[in-house]
């Protein structure tokens, strides 16, 4: 998937070997800077803040004011609450024509007029659905949201080179976790009252689903309303996704479910999820081989995972 920013402005491909990734959600904002050192990606620093943000532009403004960004090319990932992600049959066109083709395919599936949104798409791996179905994910976002964000960045003299989505940031981050090579994993990403579960193999996204959780209230707004325990329902939703990944996507079972959240309450669910699910469940950790020796970087992965993934994806795109 190409970054939305490239759909709005034509920019020269960066040659930078140091970039900053930014993650913007309704409740968190974070940046993480990485650089290529001796052919390895290393974390140079990061910051994270929490608040109630009205929009990506609002979150970016707060991040700029409280945790000024490094002077590096910037790649932004948006929280899943800010866009729609649709799974549709791939139109029979080459990659360079995919975006235009899917615009017409999804125009009747969205509430907004097609000329008021920005659309982009990425293909599922060829072996998804056992090779029987050719599918694409289509991301749709209000163009006013993107433009407002870019205006904030321009005023702060931030060189935005790409805007992407959480699901692909998660996939990019897992590609740097060497222990996961040739393995399938589930990244259970939670922020605020919702999240996504992303089924990934070798850095490629095969399946993603939204999950709604009323943390702290004992309520749940997903498909199983008769259950009142949010953790039990979360475990059931995760299990359904794992089952679908095997039975329909046609992949072998995942080696681990990684819980990715900056919320102490969410992270406190780890033990219960371990009891409820038939696979290993762990808190996501920053890849140790990305840490610089002697670095004082101490942010938990739950706070910066998406920003780190945005940076990894951006640095690869810059090559």
Are residues 132 and 161 both part of a single domain?
no
pLDDT tens-place string over residues 278-303: 999 999 999 888 988 777 788 999 99
Are residues 149 and 52 both part of a single domain?
yes
| Number of compact structural domains in the chain | 3
221 or 162, which is more confident? 162
Are residues 188 and 267 both part of a single domain?
yes
Q: Would you say residue 118 has pLDDT above 50?
A: yes
* pLDDT (0 to 100) of residue 10: 46
Q: Would you say residue 5 has pLDDT above 60?
A: no
Are residues 194 and 262 both part of a single domain?
yes
Domain interval for residue 106? 87-139
Of 32-46, 84-98, 203-217, the least confident? 203-217
Are residues 44 and 153 both part of a single domain?
yes
Are residues 73 and 167 both part of a single domain?
yes
> What DSSP assignment string belongs to the chain?
---THHHHS--PPP--SEEEEEEE-SSEEEEEEEEEETTEEEEEEEEEEE---SSHHHHHHHHHHHSPPPSSEEEEEE-GGGSEEEEEEPPSS-GGGHHHHHHHHHTTTSSS-GGGEEEEEEEPPTTGGGGT--EEEEEEEEHHHHHHHHHHHHHTT--EEEEEEHHHHHHHHHTT-GGGTT-EEEEEEEETTEEEEEEEETTEEEEEEEEE-BTTTTB--SS-TT---HHHHHHHHHHHHHHHHHHTS-PPPPSEEEEE-S-HHHHTTHHHHHHHSSS-EEE----GGGSPTT------HHHHHHHHHHHHHHHHHH-
* pLDDT (0 to 100) of residue 73: 95
CATH number of the domain to which 148 belongs: 3.30.420.40
Q: Would you say residue 12 has pLDDT above 70?
A: no
Query: Mean pLDDT over residues 207-226, rounded?
Result: 65
pLDDT tens-place string over residues 73-106: 999 999 999 999 999 999 999 999 999 999 989 9
* pLDDT (0 to 100) of residue 277: 97
Are residues 152 and 233 both part of a single domain?
no
Are residues 60 and 187 both part of a single domain?
no
Q: Would you say residue 145 has pLDDT above 50?
A: yes
Are residues 72 and 164 both part of a single domain?
yes
pLDDT tens-place string over residues 148-193: 999 999 999 999 999 999 999 999 999 888 777 778 999 999 998 9
* pLDDT (0 to 100) of residue 220: 43
Q: Would you say residue 9 has pLDDT above 70?
A: no
Order of all β-strands in the sheet with 184-191: 204-212, 194-201, 184-191, 256-260, 281-283
Are residues 95 and 26 both part of a single domain?
no
* pLDDT (0 to 100) of residue 293: 78
Q: Cα separation of 315 and 34, whole Å?
A: 8
Q: Cα separation of 299 and 319, whole Å?
A: 27
Are residues 66 and 160 both part of a single domain?
yes
Are residues 190 and 224 both part of a single domain?
yes
* pLDDT (0 to 100) of residue 68: 83
Q: Cα separation of 300 and 280, whole Å?
A: 20
């Amino acid at each position: 998937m190409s970054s939305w920013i490239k759909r709005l402005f034509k920019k020269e491909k960066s040659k930078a070997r140091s970039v900053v990734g930014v993650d913007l959600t309704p409740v968190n904002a974070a940046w993480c800077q990485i650089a290529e050192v001796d052919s390895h990606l290393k974390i140079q620093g990061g910051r994270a803040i929490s608040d109630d943000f009205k929009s990506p532009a609002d979150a970016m403004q707060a991040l700029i004011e409280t945790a000024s960004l490094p002077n590096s090319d910037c790649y932004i990932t948006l929280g899943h609450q800010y866009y729609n992600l649709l799974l549709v049959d791939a139109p029979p066109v080459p990659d360079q024509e995919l975006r235009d083709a899917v615009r017409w395919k999804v125009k009747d599936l969205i509430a907004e007029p097609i000329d008021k949104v920005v659309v982009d798409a990425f293909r599922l791996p060829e072996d998804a659905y056992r090779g029987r179905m050719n599918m694409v994910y289509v991301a749709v976002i209000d163009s006013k949201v993107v433009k407002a964000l870019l205006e904030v960045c321009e005023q702060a003299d931030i060189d935005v080179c790409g805007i992407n989505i959480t699901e692909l940031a998660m996939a990019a981050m897992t590609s740097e976790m060497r222990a996961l090579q040739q393995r399938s994993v589930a990244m259970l990403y939670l922020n605020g009252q919702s999240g996504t579960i992303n089924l990934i193999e070798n850095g490629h996204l095969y399946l993603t689903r939204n999950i709604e959780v009323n943390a702290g209230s004992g309520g749940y707004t997903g498909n199983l309303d008769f259950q009142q325990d949010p953790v039990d329902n979360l475990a059931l939703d995760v299990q359904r996704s794992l089952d679908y990944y095997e039975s329909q996507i046609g992949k072998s079972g995942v080696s681990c479910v990684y819980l990715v959240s900056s919320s102490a309450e969410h992270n406190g669910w780890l033990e219960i999820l371990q009891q409820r699910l038939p696979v290993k469940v762990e808190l996501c950790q920053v890849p140790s081989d990305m840490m610089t020796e002697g670095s004082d970087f101490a942010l938990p992965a739950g706070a910066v995972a998406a920003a780190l993934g945005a940076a990894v994806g951006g640095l690869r795109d810059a090559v």
